[in-house]
Structure 1
Amino acid sequence: MFKLFAVFLGAMLLAVSYGGLPGGYTDRPELIEDPFVKSLTSFAAEYYAKKENIFLSRLKVTHVQTQIVAGVNYKLDFTGEIVSDISGKLATCNAVIYVRFDQTQSVTNIECH
């Protein structure tokens, strides 16, 4: 019984620290300049480069949301300059990166326009 209570209490403390209850996405404007979020953005851009053979530079995070699941989903909106385009066109991207509690990261979705 105590173990169940401890797990429940831990989940609630985690939910409060991330600003929401498990299930829904929560806007996190304070994370836009966060170094960890910037590293997740680079991780997503590298994944996109491997998947679509389109390389992005000068990444800029514009919106961050988090969702608590069995880890944390980070929903990121960001822009990046298309490297192969000499006109300096910007791509606008939306990505979801799943980060397990052991810090394992995976891109679950990414779209760039």
Structure 2
Amino acid sequence: MFEAHIYTEAANPDAGLHQRSVKPNTPANCWHTIYQCNVRYWMAEGKRQTRPTLFLYIEYCNKDNSHGYKLIEIPQTSLTVEDAQRIISQALLSPQLDPIKTEQWCKTL
């Protein structure tokens, strides 16, 4: 007999109480719903005209094997992983983005 156990944060009753924040300067992958591939992202803290700002960078591979990125400025001091993934998955990137090359690149990191 085979018994399967699947552990997820949703099964944890405290999961909703402590949402994870994106750690600055820590790269991660995120599924992009428009391009149907993972993209790489990271965040840096900074200021824009003395106002605390988060700079969210999304990186991908283009059809010509070059890398492109998109910068999204967020006027706040922290961002949950879930919010970052929602923002990233809906962002329009480049028409030159190659989903297959981007996915392969993300798997090698």
Q: TM-score range by the shorter chain?
A: 0.3 to 0.5
- Name the structure where strand makes up a greater proportion of residues: 1
Structure 2 length-normalised TM: 0.32
Name the structure with the higher helix share: 1
Q: What's the TM-score, normalizing by structure 1?
A: 0.32
